[in-house]
Structure 1
Amino acid sequence: MSIQVVFVHGIRTSATMWRAQLAHLAERGVAATAVNLPGHGSRIAEAFVIEAAMATIDDAVRDAATRGPVLLVGHSMGGLVSIAYAGAEDPPPVAGFIGASCTAFPRGAGLAAYRFLARRFNALPDKGLWLTTQVLAATLPEETRADFAAGGYAFDAQDVALASLSTLDLAADVHRLRMPVWWINGQFDQLRPQERLFQRLAPHSELIVVPRTSHLVTAMRPRVFNALLDVAVATLEKGVPQPS
């Protein structure tokens, strides 16, 4: 049975953010799918509910698991929700996990500041779209620049999604991860602060910091991220024993 990859997007964006990764894996003959969480992408009219987000991931993972071992890959918010999913007390069929740009606990002053800024941007006439477009134009290569916007921006889902993250017991969830785990962060990633703590909670995990890269590590240096995907796929293909 061949490795199956399931991608989970970050906040505001959608499954389209993984276009470069899906194309890369398709060229290699590796089966992959990218989900849209509630309130995002093709489901932008829905309300974001954390239980529905978990169910979306579960449906994709269990479907993929009928065809082979599953590598779950989540970015930012999608990474945090995927940690909670993969680290459940009753573990789902996840053979390996990549958490990209998600090594920070969503709580306290940091979360409050993020929610405050999100609300301020949402109060603008264009909800901050002009600024978002300018930042992406200045930081992303042309080949991936349109991917984050291709499925639409879920501005209205931001605040409730951020609030939902604070209800997760991520420290316990990270500690319960027993599959091979890779944490992938950009050098200038704002969600790096607790990466060493995440490593200590999952001692078998690997931490990889991509130089000259921001929070949008998947799109800023797609070839590097794709190479790291290849490493994870190859590791699972070899059937490396899971840590005890």
Structure 2
Amino acid sequence: MVPSLPLVLVHGIRLNRAAWTEVVEHLPAGRPAVAVDLPGHGARRGERFSFEAAADVLGEAVDSVGGRALVVGHSLGGYAAMAFAAREPRRVAALVVAGATAVPTRSGTAPFLVAHRALSGWADGGERVSARVLRAALPRRTADAVARAGIASEVIPDAVAALRAQRPLDRLAAYPGPVRFVNGRFDHLRADERRFLGAATRGSVVVDPRGGHYLPMTRPRSFVRELEAFAATGIRG
């Protein structure tokens, strides 16, 4: 990687910074990295989610590691990372976007609202059933860490409204730096991968043949290898 270039890691919808637990463990020794909680998630539960508020959080994180970073976003975090890069391009040395190459549409985001209505019927907001689902999808240690920090199903309506209102291809086109899309072959959110690649000024894509939507969490060693390869060949300073 570029010497001393820090990472800012941005999680997906309902999760929290603990989702990056095993990715951080596989980073090279001495690589600075900070994982954030998006508004409405983790330690920020109760805050309203918007992409402007998310960009403020990312700005604070970038400042905490020296003012410039490689920003890595998964799912909702990928859309947040693109929005931040469009707003603050000088502070983003490069972007890695995983599981966020589908243009959010009403039909595409509707299942999240259906899930929210179902989860809201539980006394705990569906937190226990969500934890069971995560344990089936993610490595147990990561799933347990995320569950301990809280699974924020209540943020879904705000997140869906924000996704529907934004124009991610325009945000992406506004950022002049290098972008690497890292997707799992079986990820449903790579439907518009080629459109996102075409919108990026300096874009490239890698598809993990064994990965799904939760690629960074389920295959952390492989994901970190892609981060290292990208930073070694695609970023200059």
Shared fold (TM-score, shorter chain, > 0.5):
yes
* Partner amino acid, structure 1, of 2:37: N
**36-45 or 226-235: bigger deviation:** 226-235
**6-15 or 117-126: bigger deviation:** 117-126
Could you tell me whether the CA contact under 8 Å between 2:179 and 2:203 is conserved in 1? yes
Distance 1:220-1:105 versus aligned 2 partners, 3 A rule: same
| Aligned-residue CA RMSD (Å) | 2.1
- State the identity as a percent: 35
| Corresponding residue for residue 36 of structure 1 | 37
Of 5, 13, 19 in structure 2, the residue corresponding to residue 11 of structure 1 is 13
Normalised by the length of structure 1, the TM-score is 0.87
Are 1:73 and 2:75 an aligned pair? no
Helix, strand or coil for the counterpart of 2:149?
coil
**33-42 or 129-138: bigger deviation:** 129-138
Are 1:239 and 2:236 an aligned pair? yes
In the TM superposition, residue 58 of structure 1 has moved relative to its aligned partner by: 1.4
Are 1:149 and 2:147 an aligned pair? yes
What is the correspondence of 1:113-128 to structure 2 with a 5 Å cutoff?
113-128=111-126
* Partner amino acid, structure 1, of 2:36: V
The 1-side partners of 2:185 and 2:230 are apart by: 20
Distance 1:150-1:180 versus aligned 2 partners, 3 A rule: farther
> When the two structures are aligned, how many residues end up with a matched partner?
235
Q: Per-residue CA shift, 1:94-143, capped at 9, x if unaligned?
A: 11100010001112211223323322222234434444334333333344
What is the correspondence of 1:84-95 to structure 2 with a 5 Å cutoff?
84-88=83-87, 91-95=89-93
Are 1:47 and 2:44 an aligned pair? no
Of 129, 137, 140 in structure 1, the residue corresponding to residue 138 of structure 2 is 140
Could you tell me whether the CA contact under 8 Å between 1:119 and 1:159 is conserved in 2? no
Distance 1:208-1:148 versus aligned 2 partners, 3 A rule: farther
Q: Per-residue CA shift, 1:25-65, capped at 9, x if unaligned?
A: 2x521001011111111111323233221111112123324
Higher-helix-fraction structure = 2
| Corresponding residue for residue 56 of structure 1 | 57
Helix, strand or coil for the counterpart of 2:196?
helix
In the TM superposition, residue 203 of structure 1 has moved relative to its aligned partner by: 5.4
Normalised by the length of structure 2, the TM-score is 0.89
* Partner amino acid, structure 2, of 1:21: V
Q: Per-residue CA shift, 1:56-89, capped at 9, x if unaligned?
A: 11121233244xx41000110011011111123x
Q: Per-residue CA shift, 1:206-233, capped at 9, x if unaligned?
A: 1111122221111111111111122233
Q: Which runs of 5+ in 1 are unaligned?
A: none
Of 160, 165, 168 in structure 2, the residue corresponding to residue 167 of structure 1 is 165
The 1-side partners of 2:233 and 2:188 are apart by: 28
Helix, strand or coil for the counterpart of 1:133?
helix
Helix, strand or coil for the counterpart of 1:83?
helix
